[in-house]
Chains A and B, each alone.
Chain A
Amino acid sequence: MKEDMVKLISAEGFEFVIDKKAAMVSQTIRNMLTSPGSFAETEHGEVTFPEISTTILEKICQYFYWSLQYASGKETEFHIEPELTLELMMAANYLHT
C-alpha cells in the first residue's frame, strides 16, 4: 500500500483504495490510522468494515472527496439517493463523519 493511500474494505469484501487524506475526513478512521500501535490497521493501511455494505461504503468515499473539494472552496451539492439515507446515516455516525 502506497504511503498516501489506504484501503477500505466493505462487508462483501469490496476494496476501495483512496487517498489517506480523504479517509481521514472520518474521525474514526483518522484515529485508527494515527494512534500509535493500538490498531493493526496502522501497519497495513487497510481497514475492514464488516458492517458497512459496498454501496454505502462507496457513497462514503464519495463524501470524503466531496468534503475535501468543499473545504478548498468548490461548494457543490452532495446528492443522496433516498433509499440509502438511513443506512448511510448510521454508517456516518459510526465513522464520526
Chain B
Amino acid sequence: MGGACSRKRDQLDNGDNLNGRVSRRFCKSGSSKWLGTSFTRASMDVIQGNRRCPSLMELCIYKIREDINKYSTLSMLPRDLSQQIFDDLVYSQCLTDSILENFRDCALQDLNFGEYPGCNDNWMDVISSQGSSLLSVDLSGSDVTDSGLFHLKHCKNLQALNLNYCDLISDHGLEQISGLSNLTTLCFRRNNVITAQGMSSLSGLENLVKLDLERCPKIHGGLVHLNGLVKLESLNINCCSCIADADMKHLSGLSNLKSLQIAFSKVTDYGITYLKALHKLALLNMEGCPVTAACLESLSDLGALLYLNLSRCNNLTDDRIDKFSKLRSLKVLNLGFDDVSDAILTHLKDLTNLESLNLDSCRISDEGMVNLAGLHRLKCLELSDTQVGSSGLCHLSGLANLESLNLSFTAVTDGGLKKLSGLSSLKSLNLDARQITDVGLAALTSLTGLSHLDLFGARITDSGTNYLRSFKNLQSLEICGGGLTDAGVKNIKDLASLTCLNLSQNHHLTDKSLESISGLTQLVSLNVSNSRVTSSGLQHLKPLKNLMSLTLESCKVTASDIKKLQSTDLPNLVNVRPE
C-alpha cells in the first residue's frame, strides 16, 4: 500500500512562478507575455467561491506542516507523498534550513523553490541527495552561487533547471552544469554577467529542447556554441540588446526550432535571412527590432509560421507591406504601435487563418475595415487608439467567431455599437471611450455571453447600469467615468459571477455601495478608490473571502483599517492600497 505513484508531474514551464502564491517578482516583461494577451483574458476566472471539503490527504499534510519540527526525516514515505508535503511547505512559506533536512534522500523528482526566500548554497546538499531521481529543480531568484551548482553533478537525470534571476551565478556556474547532458530545459533569465565564454559550457547539452536567456546583456558572440544543439525547439533571447545579425547566423542550422524570440535586439532584415530554412518555425517574436517589411521575404516559405509579433518595430512602415499577403498560415499577428496605415489591411484580407490581430495605435480608419470582413476565423481584434469609427464597425458584424474586441480610444459612438449586437460569441469588450454613454450600452444587451466589460472612461450613469443585468456571466467590470451613485451600484449586486470590479473615480459612491457589493462573494479584485467610502464601510467586505486585491486610495480609509480587515476576516488579501 502506498507505493503506487500516480501523481502527475507538473512540468517546469518557463520563468513564471507557478507556486500558487503571489509572485514577489511581478514579471512585467511585455514582450514575452504578448501571447497571453493575444486571446481572451483568463486566469482570474478560475477561482471558485464555495469552499469544498478538504480531503483526508490535505488534512494530514496540514497536520504534518503544523508538527514538522517533530520529524527528523520523511524518507520512509513513498516519494509522491513526501513530494506533496514539500510542495505544501513551500506554498505555506514554512520551509527552513532545518526543515529541509527532512527531505534528504527522499528520491524526490521535483524541487520547485521558485523565488523562495532564503534559498541558498546551504540547501544544495539536500537537493543533490535526491540523486538520480531529481528531474527538475527551480532555483529562480535564489542566492545560490557557482560553487553551489557543483552539487548538481550528482543529479545526472536532471531534465529541467531554472536559474532565472540568480544574480550570483556566472560563467563558472555554467561550467558546473556542462555535464548534465539529460537537460532538456534551461532558464537563465536576467543574468548580467554570463558571457560567450559561459555559453561554451552549453555546447555539450545535446538534449536541450528549450533555452531561455531573456535579458542577458553580455551573451553576444555566444550563440555560436548553440549551433550543435540540433534538438533545440525553443529559444528566447528577448531583450538581449547585444544580439545582432552576426549572432543569427548560428541559428540557421537549428532545423527543429519552433519558437524564436529576439525582441528588442539589434537584428535587422539581413539577420532574418538566416531563418529562411527553419521550416518548423511556428512562433517568431521580433517586437522592437529594427526590421522592415522586407524581412518577410525570408519568412514567406515558412509554412508552419503561426505567430508573428512585429509590434513596436520603428522601421516598419507601409513600405513593401505587400509581402504580408504571403504569410498564409498566420494565426496571430501583432502590429501594435507600428507606423502602418489602412494600406496594410488590403494585404491582410486573404490571411483567412488569422485568429488574433493587434492593430493598437496603428493609422487605421474606417476605410481599411472592409478588408477584415472576410477574416471569419478572427477571435480577437485590437483596435485601441485607432481612428476606427462607427461606420467601420459594420464590417465586423459578420465575424461570428469574434470573442474579444478592443475599441478603447477609438472614434466609435453609441450609434455604431448597434452593429455589434449580433456578435453573440463576444466574451470581452473594451469600450473605454468618453463618447460612449448609456445609450450605447443599451444596444448591447443581447450580448449575454459577455464575461469582461471595460467601460472605464465611458459616461455611464445609474440608468445605464440597468442594462448590465443582461450580462449574467460577467466576471470583470470597470466603470470609472464618475457618473455612478449608490443607486446604480444596486444594479450590480446580482452579478454573482463577478471576480474583478473597478468602480474607482465615482466620487458619489458611499459605504452603501459596499453594502450592495457584499454579496459578490466570488470577487478577487475590488477597486473603489476616489469615492466617499469610509472605514465604517469595510465591514461589508467581510463576506468576500476570495478577495486578494483591494484598492481604496483617496478614500477616508487608512492602511491600518484595511490591515485589521485582512487579519480578522480576509486571509487571502495580498495586495492592498493604501499600504
Contact = CB atoms under 8 A, between A and B. Distances in A.
Lowest 4 A-B CB distances belong to which pairs? Answer: A89-B60, A92-B56, A90-B2, A51-B1
Contacts of B76: 86
B10 interface: no
Interface string A78-97: 10101001101111111101
Nearest to B59: A78
B1 A89 contact: no
B53 interface: yes
Nearest to B1: A51
Nearest to A90: B2
Interface string B33-58: 00000000000000000001101110
B313 interface: no
B275 to A, nearest CB: 50
A31 to B, nearest CB: 13
Interface residues of B, number: 20
Contact of B53 (A70, A88, A90): A70
B70 interface: yes
Nearest to B51: A75
Given A67-B53, A71-B53, A97-B55, A88 B1 contact: no
B56 A86 contact: no
Interface string B78-90: 1011000000000
A92 B54 CA distance: 12
A74 B275 CA distance: 63
B8 interface: no
A52 interface: yes
A12 to B, nearest CB: 15
Nearest to A81: B63
A92 B53 contact: no
B67 A89 contact: no
A63 to B, nearest CB: 5
B77 interface: yes
A97 B56 contact: yes
Contact of A52 (B1, B57, B63): B1
B64 A85 contact: yes
Nearest to A69: B53
Nearest to B80: A93
Given A52-B1, A82-B70, A94-B2, A89 B53 contact: no
Given A71-B53, A88-B60, A90-B77, 17 more contacts: A63-B59, A70-B53, A78-B59, A80-B63, A82-B70, A85-B63, A86-B76, A86-B77, A89-B61, A90-B1, A90-B81, A92-B56, A92-B60, A93-B2, A93-B78, A94-B1, A94-B2
A60 interface: yes
The A interface is mostly helix, strand or loop, or mixed, namely helix
Interface of B: 1-2, 4, 52-53, 55-57, 59-61, 63-64, 67, 70, 76-78, 80-81
Contacts of B1: 51-52, 90-91, 94
B2 A63 contact: no
Interface string A51-75: 1100000001001000100110000
Contacts of B60: 80, 85-86, 88-89, 92
Among the interface residues B52, B61, B63, which one has the most CB atoms of the partner chain A within 10 A?
A: B63
Contacts of A94: 1-2, 4
Contacts of B59: 63, 78, 80
A13 to B, nearest CB: 17
Contacts of A97: 55-57
A60 B76 CA distance: 21
B64 A92 contact: no
B70 A88 contact: no
B467 to A, nearest CB: 36
A62 B100 CA distance: 32
Contact of A82 (B52, B55, B56, B63): B63
22 contacts: A67-B56, A70-B53, A78-B59, A80-B59, A85-B60, A86-B60, A86-B64, A86-B77, A88-B56, A89-B64, A89-B77, A89-B81, A90-B77, A92-B55, A92-B60, A93-B2, A93-B78, A93-B80, A93-B81, A94-B1, A95-B56, A97-B55
Nearest to B57: A92
Among the interface residues B2, B53, B56, B59, which one has the most CB atoms of the partner chain A within 10 A?
A: B56
